[in-house]
Amino acid sequence: KNQVEQSPQSLIILEGKNCTLQCNYTVSPFSNLRWYKQDTGRGPVSLTIMTFSENTKSNGRYTATLDADTKQSSLHITASQLSDSASYICVVSAIRNDYKLSFGAGTTVTVRA
């Protein structure tokens, strides 16, 4: 069973609207959680990275939250743009095993005009 579960699997939103993606994990002991954006046919690009003590982190219109107690994270996209259409991947790493990353299956976001 995957240690990182993302929902929804996909979503379609209208340009200018907001959306929130969810990530639940069971990786332990927790080191950090990262959100990546992956455009079709490209490699993942880091959006945010959070450690145990961080509850929220922003990168432009992207805001990630982390609740290490419930092992949940979310990625909020504000005022979506057509260029936000991509797969968003939640990645979690464990303490003392930081090189091994546990990947979620991703949420495919499609922004329509």
Partner 1 sequence: GAVVSQHPSRVICKSGTSVKIECRSLDFQATTMFWYRQFPKQSLMLMATSNEGSKATYEQGVEKDKFLINHASLTLSTLTVTSAHPEDSSFYICSARDLTDSYSNQPQHFGDGTRLSIL
Judged by the rule CB under 8 A, the positions of this chain that interact with partner 1 are 2, 31-32, 34, 36, 41-46, 49, 51, 89, 93, 95, 98-101, 103-106, 108
Q: How many distinct helices (H) and strands (E) make up the chain?
A: 0, 11
The least distance separating partner 1 from the CB of residue 50, rounded to whole angstroms, comes to 9
The least distance separating partner 1 from the CB of residue 31, rounded to whole angstroms, comes to 6
Q: Which is nearer to partner 1, 45 or 82 (CB)?
A: 45
Q: Which is nearer to partner 1, 34 or 71 (CB)?
A: 34
Please say whether the beta carbons of 87 and 38 come within 8 A: yes
- Would you list the DSSP string of 1-39? --SEEEE-SEEEEETT--EEEEEEE--SSEEEEEEEEE-
